[in-house]
Amino acid sequence: MDEKKLTPKSENYSDWYNQLVQRAELADYAPVRGCMVVRPYGWSLWENIQAALDSRFKATGHKNAAFPLFIPMSFLEKEKEHVEGFSPELAVVTIGGGSELEEPLIVRPTSETIIGYMYSKWIQSYRDLPVLINQWGNVVRWEMRTRLFLRTLEFYWQEGHTAHATAEEAEEETLRMLDIYTDFAVNEAAVPVIPGRKSESEKFAGAVRSYTIEGMMGDTKALQAGTSHNLGQNFAKAFEIQYLDQNNTLQHCWTTSWGLSTRFIGAIIMTHGDDQGLILPPRLAPTQVVIVPIFRKEEEQQAVMAAVDKVKAQLSEFRVEIDDRMEVTPGFKFNEWELKGVPLRLEIGPKDVAKNSVALARRDIPGRDGKSFVPQDGIAETVGNMLDTIQADMLAKATQFRDEHIFEPKDYDEFKEIVKNDGWCYVWWKPNAANEAQIKEDTKATLRCIPMDQPGGKGKCIFSGEEATEKAYFARAY
């Protein structure tokens, strides 16, 4: 096996993913099982994700804050479903400063409880509402099986927590944030996601309703890429988050929470990557354009580098890197930047100096087909247009792939076949937790979501045959 090449996706998707993450220098394994180190290239991608989300949060009135990593154990126990959901995966601190603690502290698996506690202190009146706070941070969940980015013991994310005066407002907020996630995924990451509602058995521990954006990965498995929860009054009652309304009546608040994590990097990798490596959407790519100078002799070098500097100067609005390393050949650089998924490569050599041109190579279209030669004059506009085209084409390609792998089986036997080999099933569904569990046992597929966009009308439930009014997606998932 050629050590220079990645394991092809078709041969072993899991190996392909693991090798890609490490060789593209996104992340590496930490000395603790299940933990990862996010390397500068991976973190830079995360920073661009953060910036895209953060501006959307701010634009809808949210403010950032920071809550502690440690939470008293007793806090978690105040909400019944919440504690049942998270207890098995808690990291617990029992010793501090060399002596046993009076009350164990948990390392936050999520912050509903400690934020709820604070909200109960901060909120007195309807005039204090709504409270719209987001936090960027890390959380710990002691998972059994881990994968880089997709499931690690510690991960980075944002968690928004809001409190409202009415159930309607809370639901509006929950859906507003789901829309923001959808907009971000589609328009920034070129990841076509399906927004929808989680079933009772798949919803967040402690939520009234959970919403999700579901993406299809390159192996057709589903990935939950972001979630938004309407918590009803569950946490408000557990933590006594109360306010006096206009009629001087004490009311419990209605709260929400919503999160998107470094897992999304896994979604980008598995939505767009190919056998050459990563393909990053231009809007999020740490480096949008790499310039590779090509020359043999010293006099060529001078002319080429002068042209490179001139071109680079015109591209100040983009994230551009010049790869002027002397110790590796251009061919090596091409492969390396393709591995790292840089959307656009500019080659400038003696021929380009002579013709006042540059060679453009699109990462999303490998080989000759993606290569073109353009004038150096007006290069900023050319590059800008090309990056927009790449962004749009990546979304179109991923959307097409997804749609080609969604099927509408006519009966449960066909459903089983599709879910095993081909992709997702889009079917009429009459809600029933036992039936859902049975499907999972039969096929390993779970109910990914009941999409917001419903066809209307009614049909026969794929499993029970009963009359159903909604359609749902089922798939194997990460």
User: What part of residues 137-176 is at the interface with RNA (CB under 7 A)?
Assistant: 141, 143-147, 150-153, 155
Nearer to RNA, 61 or 328 (CB): 328
8 lies in the binding site for RNA (CB under 7 A): no
> What element of type H or E holds 433?
helix 433-443
Nearer to RNA, 243 or 323 (CB): 323
User: What part of residues 20-59 is at the interface with RNA (CB under 7 A)?
Assistant: 29, 32-34
User: What part of residues 452-471 is at the interface with RNA (CB under 7 A)?
Assistant: none
Report the distance separating Cα 89 and Cα 104, nearest Å: 15
Is-contact 238 290, C-beta < 8 A? no
Of these, 116, 160, 218, 259, which contacts RNA (CB under 7 A)?
A: 259
Of these, 162, 199, 257, 261, which contacts RNA (CB under 7 A)?
A: 261
369 lies in the binding site for RNA (CB under 7 A): no
Judged by DSSP in three states, 377 sits in: coil
Nearest-approach distance from CB 352 to RNA, in angstroms: 5
Task: With contacts defined by CB under 7 A, name the span among 172-180, 235-243, 341-349, 413-421 that binds RNA.
Answer: 341-349
Nearer to RNA, 172 or 219 (CB): 219
Applying CB under 7 A, the site for RNA has a residue count of 63
Task: Provide the residue type at 433 as one letter.
Answer: A
Nearest-approach distance from CB 447 to RNA, in angstroms: 12
Cis peptide before 130 (omega within 30 of 0): yes
Judged by DSSP in three states, 114 sits in: helix
274 lies in the binding site for RNA (CB under 7 A): no
User: What part of residues 382-441 is at the interface with RNA (CB under 7 A)?
Assistant: none
> What element of type H or E holds 335?
helix 330-339
177 lies in the binding site for RNA (CB under 7 A): no
Report the distance separating Cα 462 and Cα 430, nearest Å: 8
String of DSSP letters for 446-468 = EEEEEESS---S-EE-TTT--EE
> What element of type H or E holds 81?
helix 80-86
328 lies in the binding site for RNA (CB under 7 A): yes
Is-contact 221 212, C-beta < 8 A? no
Quickly tell me which residue has 């390609």 as its tokens: 397
Task: Provide the residue type at 276 as one letter.
Answer: Q
> Which residues sit at the interface with RNA, rule CB under 7 A?
3-6, 14, 18, 29, 32-34, 85, 88-89, 141, 143-147, 150-153, 155, 204, 212, 224-227, 259, 261-263, 276, 294-296, 326-332, 334-336, 338-339, 347-353, 359, 361, 366-367, 371, 444
